[in-house]
Amino acid sequence: MEDNRENVDDVKLDPEKSPIARADFLREKIKQRPINKKKLLRRTLITMTLAVVFGAVACLTFVFLAPVINNRLYPEETPTPVALTEETVADEMQPEDMYADDNAIAAEAASVAIDMASSELSKMKSEMTSHQADQTDYMDMYASLKSVATSAEKSLVTVTSKTSDTNWINDPYESEGQTCGVIVADNGAEYLILVQTSAISDAESIQVTFCDETVGSAYLKQSDAVTGLGIVAVKYKDISENTRAAIGVAPLGSSKTGGVIGTPVIAVGRPMGTRGSMCYGFVTSANSDLDLADSNYKLLTTDMNGSTNASGAIINLSGSVVGFIDMKYNTQAMPNVLSAVGITELRALIEDLSNGKGRTFVGIHGQTVPKDLQEGENIPAGAYVIRTEMDSPAMLSGVQSGDIITAVNGEEVAGFDTFVSRIRDVKPGTQVTLTLMRQAAEGYAELTIDISSDNSTDNAE
């Protein structure tokens, strides 16, 4: 077998006779396909275009679906309309309540004398006579007042506005303005704060510092050009749960003339121009009408002196707000007397601004025609026009001083307070029909004037 294998190995193939032996001329060469640059460029452009389209679609999908998904996962609180509670004076301390009637005292004393032994009565009188107020009683009284003021601080905030500008050499700088605000409402999604808009006008950003020193971003929800007041809103999501537990809405009291004059009050907020200052005193007057168009606001004055830049609130001994401090109405003779706009007349404005509702402006200053003049001088009942604002809708429509408004859009007007209420119900920018009585040669003649009302509020949301 080995010999046979050797023989096989020694066999040489004849190249001319064996086809296998002649296969050395075959060579396989793989040739590269030529690159089509135009086709490659076209495919690259198509791929890039598709990538851009895909990115744009993904971006738009995220933009539109993200809020929906976010609201589903983390639903925001829905604001509810603000409706302030009806004003009640029952809980207010009246001046007449501080002094008991002599007859009542005598009757009560007689009743007690019958039921009590003369010895016990003598002992009681002796103890009352022997007690004399000392320094401790004085300190306790002011400690009680301070406790009321401290409790009110949870409803007070510092509103800071920030504005960027450049100086005379074009160097940028940031300026700040501050005022005290009062939390007057809570709509279930935001805390609504009453402020003076002069301190936050032209603000690029607004921040609110609460009683626990936390800071939240805010925005101007609505403002009123007539009074210079506005509502600043802070959303729930911009403050912590701890802060929400620490703050509260200020209770609104009454500033009706008969119920507030002569009562002790406390000025809180920034009455001295600095945060946290407070003053104690009495209301000295509450029947001064503010000369503002289409309004019937009252000015409260006190026996307290403060800063001309004061802001904050006047509260009674129950902690309820009776006035919002505003010093711009002071006379030159008393520039530092702490004054405030009465809360009774401000309630309607606060409610409208808190709900983002516009206020109708026609530009009429007036007063109610007194009853004695109605009867003695035969003057019609209604709202007497003292004057109209320059270039106001009322002036441009022909309303004159001396006119007496007897109806607004067909609804009777008994006095200027009624006129203010009727105008409030009119939607801003709509036509207002006034029925007037104008003095003529033979008494008063009735005429009707149509006014295109304006808007005294600016929605800044």
Confidence of residue 1 (pLDDT cuts 50, 70, 90): very low
Q: What is the CATH number for 318?
A: 2.40.10.10
Nearest to 414 by CA among 404, 406, 403, 422: 406
β-strand pairing of 264-270 with 229-235 = unpaired
- Percentage of the chain with pLDDT > 70? 78
- Judge if 365 and 323 occupy the same domain: no
Residue 456: the pLDDT is: 72
327 and 365 part of one domain: no
Element (H, E) at 395: helix 393-397
368 and 333 inside one domain = no
Does residue 433 form part of some domain? Answer: yes
Within this chain, do residues 373 and 333 fall inside the same structural domain, yes or no?
no
- Determine whether 294 is exposed, middle or buried from the number of CB atoms within 10 Å of its CB (0-12, 13-18, 19+): buried
Query: How many CB atoms sit inside 10 A of residue 64's CB?
Result: 9
Looking at the domain assignment, is residue 312 inside a domain? Answer: yes
Q: Indicate whether 333 pLDDT > 50.
A: yes
Tell me whether residue 61 is in a domain. Answer: yes
| pLDDT greater than 80 at residue 78 | no
Q: Which residues 6+ apart lie within 8 Å of 206 measured at CB?
A: 159, 160, 161, 162, 200, 217, 218, 219, 220, 232
Do 322 and 264 lie in one domain? The reply is yes
Q: What pLDDT score does 157 carry?
A: 97
In terms of domains, do 375 and 453 share one?
A: yes
Distance CA 315, CA 185 (A): 17
| Confidence (pLDDT) at 173 | 73
Instruction: Give the global pTM.
Output: 0.75
pLDDT over 50 at 95, yes or no: no
In 77-204, where do the E strands start and end?
156-166, 172-186, 190-196
Q: What is the mean pLDDT of residues 54-65?
A: 80
Higher-scoring residue by pLDDT: 196, 132: 196
Q: Per-residue pLDDT for 189 more than 60?
A: yes
- Tokens for 293? 């168009």
Q: Is residue 166 part of a domain?
A: no
How high is the pLDDT of residue 460? 43
Instruction: Read off the DSSP letter of residue 319.
Output: S
Residue 397 DSSP code: H
Q: Is the pLDDT of residue 85 over 90?
A: no
Banded pLDDT at 165 (limits 50, 70, 90): confident
The count of structural domains within the chain is 3
d(CA 315, CA 329): 19
- 367 with 454, same domain? yes
The answer to whether the beta carbons of residues 247 and 158 sit under 8 Å apart is no
CATH number at residue 428: 2.30.42.10
pLDDT in tens, 419-449: 999 999 999 889 999 999 999 888 899 999 9
Q: How far apart are CA 141 and CA 139, in angstroms?
A: 5
Q: Give the span between the Cα atoms of 221 and 357, in whole angstroms.
A: 10
pLDDT of residue 77 exceeding 60, the answer is: yes
Among candidate residues 76, 94, 125, the one where a domain is terminated? 76
pLDDT above 90 (res 203)? no
Query: Pick from 312, 344, 376: which residue ends a domain?
Result: 344
**Domain shared by 448 and 415, yes or no:** yes
| Position 318 in a domain | yes
Q: How far apart are CA 148 and CA 6, in angstroms?
A: 125
Domain that holds residue 381: 360-458
Q: Check whether 283 has a pLDDT greater than 70.
A: yes
Lowest mean pLDDT among 32-41, 71-80, 286-295, 392-401: 71-80
Instruction: Examine the domain organization and report whether 317 and 400 are in the same domain.
Output: no
Residue 96 has pLDDT above 70, yes or no: no
Rounded Cα distance, 50 and 71, in Å? 31
- Amino acid (one-letter) located at 197: T
The answer to whether residue 240 sits within a structural domain is no
Asked if the structure places residue 436 within a domain, the reply is yes
Whether 99 maps to a domain, the answer reads: no
Same domain, 376 and 291: no
Residues 328, 403: one domain?
no
Are residues 392 and 367 located together in one domain of the fold? yes
